[in-house]
Amino acid sequence: MSIELFGCQPGPANSLADVAGIGVGHAMCEDGAGDSGVTMIVAPKSATASVDVRGGGPGTRETDLLAPHNTVQAVHAIGLCGGSAFGLDALTGAMAELESRGIGFPVLGPEHPDKLVPIVPGAVIFDLLLGRWDSRPDAATGAAATAAALGTVAGDVAGGAGGVAEQGAAGQGGSGQGALNGNVGAGLGASAGALKGGFGQASAVFPEGTPLAGVTVAVGIVVNPQGAVFDPATGLPWGIAAELNGEFSRYGLADGLVDGESVGAEGVKRLKSKNLLGTKITADMLAPKLNTTIGVVATDAPLTKAQAKRLALAGHDGIARAIRPAHMPMDGDTLFAMATGEHGSGAAVDDIGMSLLSAVAANTVERAIMHAVLAAESAFGVQSWREVVKGT
């Protein structure tokens, strides 16, 4: 079963790499040997940006700057970081790497092109309980992830030191074989309720015959929520019906599992044996915990800063569909929006276009969360949904 929105289909990589002007890179702390990581989404030519924060316990940097009424209109990168508030240090390294490449906002005007300040907002997840408490991203981690991400924009997939670049192309059928999902970057130490979380991506391209023909919407998201990612009545992930073009079959799930109505008796039994499956939300499930889902909704459509804010707002609908409950007092749920404007005439989309973008953004967030959950691998003593259900 799948949800078809205006005939959209996944892009070639089914990832943020499908948005022109965007690059994605990941790095683990401690030069690749640590227990947490960073994911950087870069726009070296800048992107109009905004943010919407719904969780009650966010850890963020420069989100006030992204309010539509504030002066700076564009960003050069957005960081998604592990390490709780300590992980914000990674963004200092990202800024240094961008400055070294001549990327930034000319604070003294075009007459002084060497006086640049890269605009790099970001958000963090709380992942300090998985792995070592003191294993956290730092400036070097952020610089490595940024170097890797910049390489993808230039068409060079060789990452920087300690970094891993996203592939710019995928397998056939838009299945996203080139996209890195699961235990990568900021998703390394993520948990999804009682299961292993991770980093996930998805994209959608509007077909010919629609007002936004050829426009791409893509999402990269770190899934580390307090709420559950699967339906306790069936054992299936909440977002499984959002699948486009058979994209979830890449994880080796049987057709009956992807398209059916439950995970089957054995899968339910295994979930119950891990105390992961109940019939109702209990007070214990809602006990104060430190969790967060953070991500970026990107498009190549030209948007104003206010429209970017609307795109970020709409994306939270996808979080609420795929994670239940969401936006809790101790969650830090935060979605950024980036618009490169590399598709179209340069004029901002109209109200009809924004309605289409908003609907597809929510669906794409839901799908990206699914990729994070399905690609996740057991780590730090926390099992993944796929491995529990399959009994492996």
**63 in any annotated domain:** yes
DSSP code per residue over 60-97? EES-GGGSTTSS--EEEEEEEE-SGGGGGGHHHHHHHH
As a whole number, mean pLDDT of residues 252-277 equals: 57
- Residue whose token pair is 């054992």: 235
**123 in any annotated domain:** yes
**The pLDDT of residue 274:** 52
Q: Please give the residue that has the higher pLDDT: either 194 or 146.
A: 146
- State percent of the chain over pLDDT 70: 83
**210 in any annotated domain:** yes
Domain holding 48, by residue range, is: 16-152+178-390
The model's pTM: 0.90
**163 in any annotated domain:** no
Do 244 and 219 touch, CB atoms closer than 8 A? no
Residue 24 pLDDT level (bands cut at 50, 70, 90): very high
**167 in any annotated domain:** no
Distance in angstroms (rounded) separating the CA atoms of residues 240 and 243: 6
**339 in any annotated domain:** yes
Residue 344 pLDDT level (bands cut at 50, 70, 90): confident
Query: Dihedral sign, CA of 341, 343, 345, 350?
Result: negative
**162 in any annotated domain:** no
Stretch among 135-139, 281-285, 349-353 having the lowest mean pLDDT: 281-285
What tokens appear for 225 in the block?
A: 């929520």
Q: Phi and psi for 200 in degrees, rounded to 5? A: -135, 155
C-alpha distance across the termini of the chain, in Å: 26
**The pLDDT of residue 143:** 97
Query: CATH number for the domain including 122?
Result: 3.60.70.12
Give the total number of structural domains in the chain. 1
**166 in any annotated domain:** no
Distance in angstroms (rounded) separating the CA atoms of residues 351 and 121: 27
Q: Please give the residue that has the higher pLDDT: either 277 or 24.
A: 24
